[in-house]
Structure 1
Amino acid sequence: MTKILIIEDDNVMGQMLYLYFSGEGFIVHRVETAEAGSLALTEFEPDVILLDLILPDSDGTEFCAKLRTLTDVPILVVSMKNSVNERINALQSGADDFLCKPFSMQELKARIIAILRRMESQGLGISSLTSESSVSDKIIFDYDRRLLIVNGTEIETTYSEWELMKLFSSSPGKVFEREELINAIRGIDSFVNDRAIDVHIMNLRKKIEDNPRQPNFIKTVWGIGYKFVLAQ
């Protein structure tokens, strides 16, 4: 059964999330602080994290970045902070999705199911692949550990970044429209806007490009989307 870790200090919202997802058949564990959330990673071993950005013992965005260094499970931010900058900061800190309060429980469940479906599909596909696969002489996919090796350096990726790189590497040179990239991350029944894709691409460039402002691998195709080229 899928395990959801809820990091939420608001008792009303925390209880609502706990009761809803417990009733939907998930195994749910709720904590109220960043410190307790860090401990729950190893003690509870969640499949998905729901993170509120307003916590009593930590800045939510900074804690999101810390979580990303500790785990590669999907992080979905649920927050009263609804400005564009807050969303961008959360995505840049490693979140895979952002949902503003108040929100529909059914929509949140749909997003969780969509991201888990993509992960299950990824797991089924790994068996037919070698543990490592070279995209070029500079980039290697380590499927066992779900990370990239760029110029000999191991690079950790978020779930969304990994899915994007898998899609890019499947068809080097192909121009992917933003809708295709969105579907690769969320599935066709879940919403995420173009700006979120742009942020994930920016984060990827910081990790794999020598100069993110003049990328060699992930190229922008203005008005359409992005393409991946095998840089020499």
Structure 2
Amino acid sequence: MNSRILLVEDDPEIARVVRDLLLREGFEVTWATTGLEGWEDFQTANYDLVLVDLMLPEMDGFTLCKNIRWKSDVPIMIISARKEDEDKVEGLQLGADDYLSKPFSLIELKARVESLLRRWRRYNGQLTEDVKKTEYANGLIIYWDQHKVIRNGREILLTGKEFDLLKVLSENLQVTFSKSELYQHVWQQLDVSDLHTVTVHIKSLREKLEDPIKNPYFIQTVWGKGYRFIGEPL
């Protein structure tokens, strides 16, 4: 099956050149012209690689990289005219795997795309050999594919949104999420007028996990900022 690539680029001339190259190499390509469109496309299909410009309308490339990385380990390559070291460092720290400065040669782009895809295939091959679960101290086990959660030998019945909340938090250990960020990721909406929904679901999740608020094992409140996952993987 051909690899699927998401290209997020608002410059039509550059996008067409890159898209045509990738199509000639046999890849399936989805082209988004804004950061928000790219984020919506990413949530509706499975991709093997994402190519992201930094200076995008509606949602900049830094934010898009951050959102994608919270949700997936898919390879991300930034393609940008911004050549400052600070931009490169920030992009890589947000989870990008590579950074290619404009202007670039198509030969170099092709080589980097193939390199990232090779690593992604190896990574996926390793994952399929193991049962996709994570065990934590204090009796918590999360079975990712089955959407099943065990605490102290007993299955915890979570709603879809509760599991999604736990997944976002636990896959980003010690990262503090604001309520608006959790709302965007779990409810997949940019309108964050109903942040009380997040509070209610966090409360329910804690109760089901029997996770005390004052001395939590798993979900910690960072006052004035949001929530973070502090479970200790075994």
Does TM, normalized by the shorter one, top 0.5?
Answer: yes
2:119 paired residue number: 118
Shift of 1:135: 11
SS at match of 1:95: coil
1:32 paired residue number: 33
Relative distance call for 1:35 and 1:83 in structure 2 (3 A) is same
- Report if aligned partners of 2:134, 2:143 keep a CA contact under 8 Å in 1: no
- Report if aligned partners of 1:130, 1:143 keep a CA contact under 8 Å in 2: no
CA distance in 2, matches of 1:74, 1:49: 6
- Report if aligned partners of 2:74, 2:120 keep a CA contact under 8 Å in 1: no
Q: Which moved more, 1:88-97 or 1:102-111?
A: 102-111
2:49 paired residue number: 48
CA distance in 2, matches of 1:136, 1:101: 44
Shift of 1:144: 6.0
How many residue pairs get matched? Answer: 155
Q: Does 1:156 align with 2:157?
A: no
Letter aligned with residue 55 of structure 1: L
SS at match of 2:38: helix
CA distances 1:159-195 after superposition (whole Å, capped 9, x unpaired):
xxxxxxxxxxxxxxxxxxxxxxxxxxxxxxxxxxxxx
SS at match of 1:46: coil
Shift of 1:75: 0.9
Shift of 1:137: 7.2
Shift of 1:70: 3.1
* 1:75-154 map, 5 Å: 75-127=76-128, 129-131=129-131
* 1:213-224 map, 5 Å: none
5+ long unaligned stretches in structure 2 = 146-165, 173-228
Shift of 1:142: 8.0
SS at match of 1:54: coil
Letter aligned with residue 8 of structure 1: E
Letter aligned with residue 31 of structure 1: A
Shift of 1:46: 1.9
CA distance in 2, matches of 1:7, 1:60: 9
Shift of 1:141: 11
SS at match of 1:30: strand
Letter aligned with residue 171 of structure 2: E
CA distance in 1, matches of 2:85, 2:143: 33
SS at match of 1:131: coil
SS at match of 1:125: helix
Relative distance call for 1:156 and 1:134 in structure 2 (3 A) is closer
CA distance in 1, matches of 2:132, 2:113: 28
Relative distance call for 1:29 and 1:126 in structure 2 (3 A) is closer
1:184 paired residue number: none
Shift of 1:23: 1.2
CA distance in 2, matches of 1:109, 1:30: 17
SS at match of 1:55: coil
* 1:8-27 map, 5 Å: 8-27=9-28
Q: Which has the larger radius of gyration?
A: 2
CA distance in 2, matches of 1:43, 1:17: 22
SS at match of 2:79: strand
CA distances 1:20-62 after superposition (whole Å, capped 9, x unpaired):
1111111111111111111111334221110000112223212
1:2 paired residue number: 3
